[in-house]
Amino acid sequence: GNSVTQMEGPVTLSEEAFLTINCTYTATGYPSLFWYVQYPGEGLQLLLKATKADDKGSNKGFEATYRKETTSFHLEKGSVQVSDSAVYFCALSPAAESGGSYIPTFGRGTSLIVHP
């Protein structure tokens, strides 16, 4: 079956530090890949997505590139802020041509804590 693996947290950084949260996946074909963010007391919200190999998703200074050869979709930000403190989820949606179930698959989430 499909799976998403992301690095264990929490990740603790100082403001303006560089952020990388690793995400790798297992799936047939070319799934769509997503990063969601969950702020305290809220539901998940889409941060960025990529739907085909070598696509780069970007939003609010965050970026991730769909790497088919390494089955990865690592999240990066050049300079984090205290307001970026949240839990980040990597997820995939199976390719339409993969057949079978179309259930989305989420990673376990990585907590990011940014100190002033």
Partner 1 sequence: ETGVTQTPRHLVMGMTNKKSLKCEQHLGHNAMYWYKQSAKKPLELMFVYSLEERVENNSVPSRFSPECPNSSHLFLHLHTLQPEDSALYLCASSQSRLGTYEQYFGPGTRLTVT
To which residue do tokens 């339409």 refer? 96
Buried b (16+ CB within 10 A) or exposed e, 42-58: eebeebbbbeeeeeebe
Q: Considering the complex, state which of residue 46 and residue 82 has its C-beta at the smaller distance from partner 1.
A: 46
Q: Cβ of residue 37: shortest distance to partner 1, in angstroms?
A: 11
CB of 28 to partner 1, least distance (A): 15
Cβ atoms of residues 59 and 75 within 8 Å: no
Are the CB atoms for 95 and 31 separated by under 8 Å?
yes
Residue closer to partner 1, measured from CB, 17 or 113: 113
Q: Write down the least CB distance from residue 107 to partner 1, Å.
A: 8
Interface contacts to partner 1, rule CB under 8 A: 32, 34, 36, 41-46, 49, 51, 89, 93, 96, 101-104, 106-109
